Amino acid sequence: MSDSLDQATQDRLVEAAKRAATRAYAPYSKFQVGAALLLSDGQIVEGANIENASYPAGICAERSAAAIAINQGRRDFIAIAVIGPPVEPITPCGICRQFLSEFNKNMPVLCCGRDGRVQATTLAALLPGAFDQEQLEQAG
């Protein structure tokens, strides 16, 4: 798994992501996703995907968890776990990768499958060359 997270922390994140997935609102796709975001003090914020009949109005589990943390005044994201219904581990979508990279480009990501497999990676590996504030400043 991830070298930067001990096994107990990884296990806590995976269990929290599983719990969050049970609260997903996915009446259209039936693709329930849960995410668990680790903050610097060890707190875990859970999020689930929320669909809407107007598909673009939905929100992914990863951004749901991040929005909760941000609304609590937190931006100190350390790691995230994500799980969906497939047996194989899933990864965050492109929008979530870009969104999360705003807060920690090197964040460990635990990609979980329903069969218990966990593949550890990082946002930097999932989204090389992420667009960032530095590029905005260069343009101005």
The catalytic residues are: 62
Mention every residue, 6+ apart, whose C-beta is less than 8 A from residue 52: 58
Mention every residue, 6+ apart, whose C-beta is less than 8 A from residue 133: none
Q: CA-to-CA distance for 65 and 60, rounded, in angstroms? A: 9
Eight-class DSSP state of 61: H
Eight-class DSSP state of 56: G
